Structure 1
Amino acid sequence: MGKLKKKSRASIERRKQVLGQRKKEVDDSTQKKVAPLISKLSSSAPNERSMAISAVSMICDTDSKLRKLFLKEKLVQITMEQLLNDNNDECVMEAWGLLRNLVVDEGYAVAVYTWRNDIWTALHAALVKADASLEKVDGSTGSVEKTLLFDYIENVLGLIEALAEVDDNDLRDEVMNKVLSGNIVEFLLKVKSHPKVTAKLYTFVIGFFYEISSQSLEFLRLSSQKLSLETSASSNSGFLAQLYHIGLDFQLKEVQNAITPQVALRYLETIQTLLAQIDLSKTSRQEAASDIPTKEEITGFQETKMNIQAVDVALDLVSAIVESIGSNNLGNEQIYQVSTNHIIPSLVLISQNEEFVSKALVALYNYSWLLKSEEDWLPTAQEILAMVLPQVYQTEELELKTDYLNLAWVLLSTSGDFEANSDINQVQGLITFSTNLVQSEQIPGNLTGYYTSLIRFLSKLPARSSLEIATAIGDFLVECTRSSLEQLVTGNFTQIHTRYQNLFEINTVECLNAIFDVFGDASYAYDESVYVQRDYSSKLESLISHVKRVFKVCDKSKHPELKEQLAEVMDNLPLFIEYKRSERN
């Protein structure tokens, strides 16, 4: 099934922090914002409690520094033990929303705390209460009462959705078991089809089906048996609801193997139309001007969240649909024209927005793979590459730098004769930056993935760059292979894997494969000056025994794919050296 994944807010915030940046001290004015609001959560006045919960929720959602301070003041515990049991319905509704936001923003730490403290019992009771209240909603129900109930339903279901999307397989499985064994699908269908349901709640319910179906194929199958879903929402629906409809329809059709070129084209055209309706200027998170946000600020904040969510969903869908087109050979001239004339320019524009850059780069990456062999793709690929290459060299945050490297790599793989606009100082700076990461005191968690992307990117530069750059890259690849093998052969195996996991084995595989590719033919302009004159054959020959030793100690039961890759480069390395030595004879 096409990948419909989204990053947590915590992940988005991490990429905004420069690697190695120290935490800033919290000033007194910041601290003073927290204590009064925590105090007001226990106010004797229901209106004051409700306003305080709403204010805390908005502040936590827009300011990670303040959110950490609120959490230190036991905000989650106060919410679960006190606010969810408040005697005021509005306070309880707001409390569910606050807890949902904290799980979305903080992820595993808050989620597992709530789960271990039996949040599901409270969630189940809340759903039973909501179901009973929904039965009583009719034409005589007041608008305030109805709005309160619908917001309550949205917040309770929103917490379930947030728990189901936590980045931990064990916790996610436990949550999904509860979801699948309960009557949540039936409740969702009841809400969706209720004659008095608002557009806001309807959108949320369709979104819940979409998001949870992205997590669980079993949930998708269960839903598809009971969900009567038209192929597209009414044009009167909001753009977010229509995007969710496309997402659900896409998921269902993928399971049924029913995606055709015509269906894929319709999806892409509709998504492009909906993207054009979203005001990208209203996708920046803003802090409240005062300690307690005004109603106008809260309304604006909610509009911003909806716009952000809509663009997020659209980008996920484009990535998944394009991936499906490529893997199922569904591409045709109409799809290519709509993509290059409309969707790809939109993605390039969206990639300039910090909020969406990572997802936009993934969508462009998928498109670049789909179109890289098409004759008309080269001019567009060159334009995108000109935008991406400076970011490859300048960006310091590792996750985002990896995304840029991946996109640049596939763009450099585009068919056609063109040069990469890089100079030797940029390439050497990138190599130095990357080498320092391995030697840093704190090893980044995604270092292995970063290095794989780096090596693949560098392997495409020599054919499209100067001899000086080809020399620097060749030297790096040989040295990275040597140093990786040396770490594994001479170092403490257990300590190395505790600190680096399988970084050095994977680097060995990637570097050797890159060397085979970069220097695979004597006709390459740089081959004589770099490979031959710098005597790479002798340097590589001295590493053969090390490769064999690393292959031997690699545990096939734990790393079967890596074992196979090591076997392949172990067999190919002596053959490659022999080939290169006989190549000019």
Structure 2
Amino acid sequence: MGKARRSRGRGNRADPIAKPVKLPSDPELLKVRETTILPVLNALKNPDPKSRTGAAGAIANIVQDARCRKLLLREQVVTLILSETLTDSSIDSRAAGWKVLTVLAEEEAPDFCVHLHRLDVLTAIEHASKTILETLTATEPAFSKLHKAQQRVVWDITSSLVTILGLLALARNEILAAIVGNQTILRLLFRLAATDIAPQELYEEAMSCLTTLSEDNIQLGQAVTSDQETRCFDVLLKLASGTDLKAVLSCGVLHNVFTSLSWLDHSPGPEGACDAVIVASLSRALEQVTPSNASSSHAGIAQLALEILASIGTDFQQTLEKGNRAPSGPAEPTGEWNGFDDGDADAMDVDAEPEADGEKEEPEGEGEDEDDEEDDNDSVTSDMEADIDLVTGEEGSGAADLNLPTLAGLIQEAVPQLIRLSNIPVNSEETLAIQSHALSALNNIAWTIACLEFAQGENAGIFNAWYPTAKKIWRKTIAPILEADSADLKLATQVTGLAWAVARTLNGETPADGTQHRKFISLYHASKHQSQQTESGQADSTEDQDPFQGLGVKCIGVLGSMARDPAPLEVNREVGVFLMTLLGGGETAAAQTAVPVAETVEVLNQLFDLYGDEEVPCDKEVFWKDGFLKHLEEFVPKMKALARGVDKRSQAELRTRADEASMNLARFVLYKKKYVPK
């Protein structure tokens, strides 16, 4: 008979899952833990409901303090709240519990929201949302008949839920998808957005949450438009016709819905639903902003409206890509320089006649979607082509002639307000923010149009509508800021980016006074001073910044665009010499090392565009008379070395574009040798 195993004298086994609390080493923190944290946590577990409610309220207050917050997290307060406080019979305890989670989600990193999601907080939010919906829609007693204190607690819980949902959605895409897939949560958000029962602050929170959820989300867009319980979509459309904060918030959600569902100018939703519907409302809201009220409550409305217009300006590129007709075919070969195709260097016989339909090297932000655009263009049906006749054939035809209502609204209604607000007197943080947002919106609209092809009459209707507007932007926004000689390099970077887009579209016909190009040359030198400060540790690290978005690159881009034919030869010469100097023409090798690779790439791209056509006057009078070819030929091996010096792994895009510029430079030199003027 086997012997019974002798007991080793162990007591009850400890919980194998529970993690031991790590005590703080700081004596002060240890004292706070003993005197403040542990007593309220113990009270939170007290059988007495009043004690639990008081403890939950106390934690909601002390969690605002960073030290207490860290200590509470050490004591696993989140698990305690989720498992006990949120299921407490006292609604006041539940409200305090949700408040604690809200503060933690707001103050801690996004990883905390991921942690909350893994603890199944969405189930708790769904349960609370269901209870709130039942309370709001109950008839006996009706919510409006409840005591003010009872209503306030319901709104407090609702506010916490909405805030946490917005933060969860921002943390990870899979969490956002889980929220959108929860019908109870969506019902609560739609009811808050479509009815006027919620306090104004809670309404704003709900709309902000819906804006976050609806961005690039077709499922949420479909849910909004198909909601029959509150008819949320119809309510938002009606609200958007106003000029107050509710109207602007509604426009933000509607813009996301239109974009996600591809309700564009050429394929609108029911009753012409597309961004054109909200551009007019946003413009009217901006009309209410004056220098005298820009620092008041109007500031928030203005900034939000400007942000939405900036988003519309960017997203309108999708409309143009999907609606623009495909090219009819390649042009006849000519002797004109038309840039480079994307092919291998060996694919081009430099002695053969150059292709007239080759693609030019594009500045940053311009050529990224060309392949997709060509695919979309090829798939456009003949029915759609009939709907998008953009070429009016009449000189000076206006925006109203376009079959693009959103673009017409941007040009006729939004841009005048953006120009006005870009010149608002800056005397406070609010007015500075308004000016910055106005410039961003103008920049996005201008670059969307600058990315279009206008050669050989393509998109002539858009060009005719935009041309006078672009000149007005230059005269009324760009020129005044340049003349002010502000020391604000952030403002200078914004204005220079906008100037590049405008000058690129006007193609040498910028309404400059013959000296403004020197302002951008001065700005370029100022950007070098800024770079030196950064390298010496006086500014934040720029490792993660796009090297093609710096002020130096933008100055080079706008200078090259301003100097294109038919610009005056004097301007072309000054710009050309400046660009050649950056390549080391007439300078020592040491001077060239001070020019970043991204700027060198942009210099070459601008030189290709400036002197690629031997028929324009500047080719003979500047390029050849000033001996540019000799310096470019000498720079070919230097550019190869610069390109090889860029790390492919850490700076993949920079290396790719440097390699392309190096290859194109060699081909450009061979091309120019072939067409030496007689």
Instruction: Give the TM-score normalised by structure 2.
Output: 0.58
**Structure 1 residues 477, 432: closer, same or farther in 2, change over 3 A?**
farther
Q: What's the counterpart of residue 272 of structure 1? A: 283
2:474 aligned counterpart, secondary structure: helix
Q: What's the counterpart of residue 432 of structure 1? A: 529
- The size of the alignment, in residue pairs, is 497
Aligned-residue offset at 1:564: 6.7
CA contact (8 A) 2:496 2:555 kept: yes
Q: Does 1:321 align with 2:388?
A: no
Q: What's the counterpart of residue 302 of structure 2? A: 311
Between the two structures, name the one with larger relative contact order (CA 8 Å, sep ≥ 6).
1
Aligned-residue offset at 1:163: 1.9
CA radius of gyration, larger in: 2
Letter in 2 for 1:127: S
Letter in 1 for 2:431: N
Letter in 1 for 2:225: S
Q: What's the counterpart of residue 365 of structure 1? A: 443
Aligned-residue offset at 1:574: 1.1
Q: What's the counterpart of residue 346 of structure 2? A: none
Selected match of 1:144 from 144, 149, 172: 149
Q: What's the counterpart of residue 579 of structure 1? A: 671
Instruction: Give the TM-score normalised by structure 1.
Output: 0.66
**Structure 1 residues 387, 142: closer, same or farther in 2, change over 3 A?**
farther
Q: What's the counterpart of residue 422 of structure 1? A: 519
CA contact (8 A) 2:283 2:414 kept: no
The runs of 5 or more residues in structure 2 that have no matched partner are 1-31, 44-50, 321-389, 391-397, 401-407, 451-465, 564-570
Aligned-residue offset at 1:164: 0.9
The within-5 A match list for 1:69-468 is 80=78, 85=85, 89=91, 93=95, 96=98, 99-100=101-102, 103=105, 108-112=110-114, 114-115=116-117, 119-136=121-138, 138=142, 139-166=144-171, 171-181=172-182, 183-191=184-192, 196-198=197-199, 201-226=202-227, 228=231, 229-230=233-234, 232-234=237-239, 239-254=244-259, 255-259=261-265, 264-277=275-288, 310-325=301-316, 327-328=318-319, 332-333=399-400, 335=409, 336-346=411-421, 348-349=423-424, 353-356=431-434, 358-369=436-447, 373-389=466-482, 394-395=487-488, 402-413=493-504, 415=506, 416-417=509-510, 418=512, 419=514, 420=516, 422=519, 425-434=522-531, 437=534, 443-449=541-547, 451=549, 454-461=552-559, 463=562
Letter in 1 for 2:474: A
What is the alpha-carbon root mean square deviation over aligned residues? 5.2
1:328 aligned counterpart, secondary structure: helix
Aligned-residue offset at 1:179: 3.7
User: Which is worse superposed, 211-220 or 448-457?
Assistant: 448-457
* Partners of 2:122 and 2:625 in 1: CA distance: 63
Aligned-residue offset at 1:156: 0.6
Aligned-residue offset at 1:236: 10
CA contact (8 A) 1:393 1:426 kept: no
What percentage of aligned pairs have identical amino acids?
Answer: 16
Aligned-residue offset at 1:348: 4.5
Letter in 2 for 1:448: D
* Partners of 1:444 and 1:388 in 2: CA distance: 26
* CA offsets 1:89-135 (integer angstroms, 9 cap, x no match): 45754664575466457653553454456544543443344345445
Aligned-residue offset at 1:467: 6.2
Aligned-residue offset at 1:569: 3.0
**Structure 1 residues 156, 572: closer, same or farther in 2, change over 3 A?**
same
Letter in 1 for 2:420: P
CA contact (8 A) 2:239 2:247 kept: yes
CA contact (8 A) 1:165 1:215 kept: no
Letter in 2 for 1:223: V
* Partners of 1:450 and 1:69 in 2: CA distance: 42
User: Which is worse superposed, 535-544 or 188-197?
Assistant: 188-197
* CA offsets 1:473-511 (integer angstroms, 9 cap, x no match): 44335699x999999xxxxxxxxxxxxxxx987666444
* CA offsets 1:215-247 (integer angstroms, 9 cap, x no match): 523322333332631262348988232223333
User: Which is worse superposed, 443-452 or 385-394?
Assistant: 385-394
**Structure 1 residues 281, 119: closer, same or farther in 2, change over 3 A?**
farther
CA contact (8 A) 1:474 1:531 kept: no
* Partners of 1:75 and 1:350 in 2: CA distance: 47
* CA offsets 1:61-98 (integer angstroms, 9 cap, x no match): xxxxxx87776666898874677738774575466457
* Partners of 2:254 and 2:151 in 1: CA distance: 30
Q: What's the counterpart of residue 290 of structure 1? A: none
* Partners of 1:424 and 1:242 in 2: CA distance: 43
Aligned-residue offset at 1:160: 0.9
CA contact (8 A) 1:451 1:507 kept: no
* Partners of 2:425 and 2:70 in 1: CA distance: 36
2:215 aligned counterpart, secondary structure: helix
Aligned-residue offset at 1:319: 1.8
* Partners of 1:577 and 1:414 in 2: CA distance: 27
* Partners of 2:249 and 2:71 in 1: CA distance: 37
Q: What's the counterpart of residue 27 of structure 1? A: none
CA contact (8 A) 2:496 2:551 kept: yes
Aligned-residue offset at 1:538: 3.3
Aligned-residue offset at 1:540: 2.0
* Partners of 1:477 and 1:583 in 2: CA distance: 22
2:265 aligned counterpart, secondary structure: coil
CA contact (8 A) 1:209 1:248 kept: yes
CA contact (8 A) 2:443 2:498 kept: yes
More helix by share: 1
